[in-house]
């Protein structure tokens, strides 16, 4: 199924430049959205808790900072960029009391809208502008004159120009320099969660750990195992990022390429795909979202336990020692 891809010439910068924008949160995405929009000539204010450690940082960056409620009261475009699990409470307490008919409520991920944890009033626009990259990359590429591709979505179009607002906002982020894809809250949310769980985070990290364990259990030194299954991962991914899988395969040795075709299907089997389908089904039916929110409501019991468990894996200890030798890594 073909998607619609939009570029600079499709956007009207005057739309977002004429809005009063509130960026709620100043983390990875929040700082990138606020600074890029500010540098694009937009009227930006950052909404934070009064005791937020980011307050001074945002002010020193030249941004107008106020409480979340004050920012929501002033703005007519409110972009919520705090963690998924925090959005419900902040929305109910500080945002919904100040929403006016015709305002635009914006997100960079569809979790709370798609799964119904936030239900906006019918007389506001609900849009998404989702850069497909971490915030520091969104900011860096903007300052270098390029941009990160964005997804834009519209859940509610009360003013009948919500798509134009979303595209103009993406222009302000620098997204139209790379390309903006029209999508839906459902597709973005479900595909994003699946990618994180089955491939990018859950898949890759557990594959690396398993490879390390197989080598060290066979008697190979942990330091060498780290280089073979962990350190070189970035180099392979960089090649795929730049020139695709075919380009990567043309850059590695014939031995490595043959091993790719021979061994890959033994690791990623039909059983693996069946497990992936089960992961996707739990995302689609809301089971994962409920499990995650329930854990958040219990104080992140499972999350914090797993974080501590995996931080103590041997590969992390070995990796820390090796990375300390790399003078070019910023800490």
Kind and range of the H or E run holding 316 = helix 314-323
Q: What span, in angstroms and rounded, lies between the C-alpha atoms of 284 and 186?
A: 9
Overall average pLDDT of the 118-125 stretch: 98
For 131-186, the pLDDT digits (tens) are 999 999 999 999 999 999 999 999 999 999 999 999 999 999 999 999 999 999 99
Report the DSSP pairing between strands 77-80 and 180-182.
unpaired
The residue-averaged pLDDT of 73-96 equals 97
Across 283-293, average pLDDT = 97
For residue 42, is pLDDT > 70? yes
Overall average pLDDT of the 43-55 stretch: 97
Beta strands in 138-282 (DSSP E): 150-156, 180-182
Domain edges within the chain: 5-183, 193-323
User: Where residue 113 falls among pLDDT bands split at 50, 70, 90?
Assistant: very high
Instruction: Over range 268-282, report the average pLDDT.
Output: 98
Q: Which of the four pLDDT bands, split at 50, 70 and 90, describes residue 2?
A: confident
The CATH number, out of the four listed (3.20.190.10, 3.30.460.80, 3.30.1300.10, 3.40.50.720), of the domain defined by the range 5-183? 3.40.50.720
Identify the CA nearest to 191 among candidates 297, 279, 64. Answer: 279
**pLDDT(1) > 60:** no
pTM of the model: 0.90
Rounded CA gap, 245 and 231, in Å?
19
pLDDT band at residue 81 under the 50/70/90 scheme = very high
Tell me, what's the pLDDT at 164? 98
pLDDT in tens, 204-214: 999 999 999 99
**pLDDT, tens only, 228-272:** 999 999 999 999 999 999 999 999 999 999 999 999 999 999 999
CA 150 to chain centre: 11
Mean pLDDT for the stretch of residues 43-68:
97
Helix (H, G, I), strand (E, B) or coil at 267: helix
Residue recorded with tokens 């059983």: 271
The pLDDT, as a whole number, for residue 325 is 86
Which residues does the annotation mark as catalytic?
A: 109
- Taking the C-alpha atoms of residue 317 and residue 169, their distance in angstroms, rounded to an integer, is 43
The predicted model gives 176-197 an average pLDDT of 97
């Amino acid at each position: 199924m073909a998607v619609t891809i939009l570029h600079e010439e499709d956007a009207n910068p005057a739309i977002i430049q004429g809005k009063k924008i509130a960026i709620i949160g100043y983390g990875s995405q929040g700082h990138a959205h606020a600074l890029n929009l500010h540098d694009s000539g937009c009227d930006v204010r950052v909404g934070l808790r009064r005791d937020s450690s980011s307050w001074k940082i945002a002010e020193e960056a030249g941004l107008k900072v106020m409480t979340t409620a004050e920012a929501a009261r002033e703005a007519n475009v409110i972009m919520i960029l705090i963690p998924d699990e925090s959005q419900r409470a902040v929305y109910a307490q500080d945002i919904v009391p100040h929403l006016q008919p015709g305002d635009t409520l914006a997100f960079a991920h569809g979790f709370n809208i798609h799964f119904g944890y936030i239900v906006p009033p019918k007389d506001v626009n609900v849009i998404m502008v989702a850069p497909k990259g971490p915030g520091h990359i969104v900011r860096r590429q903007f300052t270098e004159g390029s941009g990160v591709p964005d997804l834009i979505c519209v859940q509610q179009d009360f003013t009948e120009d919500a798509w134009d607002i979303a595209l103009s906002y993406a222009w302000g982020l620098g997204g139209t320099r790379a390309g903006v894809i029209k999508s839906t809250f459902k597709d973005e949310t479900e595909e994003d969660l699946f990618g994180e769980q089955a491939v990018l985070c859950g898949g890759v990290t557990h594959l690396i750990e398993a490879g390390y364990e197989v080598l060290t259990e066979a008697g190979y030194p942990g330091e060498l195992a780290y280089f073979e299954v962990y350190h070189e991962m970035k180099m392979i991914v960089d090649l795929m990022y730049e020139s695709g899988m075919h380009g990567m395969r043309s850059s590695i040795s014939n031995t490595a390429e043959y091993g790719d075709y021979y061994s890959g299907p033994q690791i990623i089997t039909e059983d693996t795909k069946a497990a992936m389908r089960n992961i996707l089904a739990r995302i689609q039916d809301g089971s994962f979202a409920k499990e995650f929110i329930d854990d958040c409501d219990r104080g992140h019991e499972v999350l914090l336990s797993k974080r501590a468990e995996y931080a103590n894996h041997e590969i992390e200890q070995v990796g820390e020692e090796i990375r300390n030798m790399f003078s070019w890594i910023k800490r």
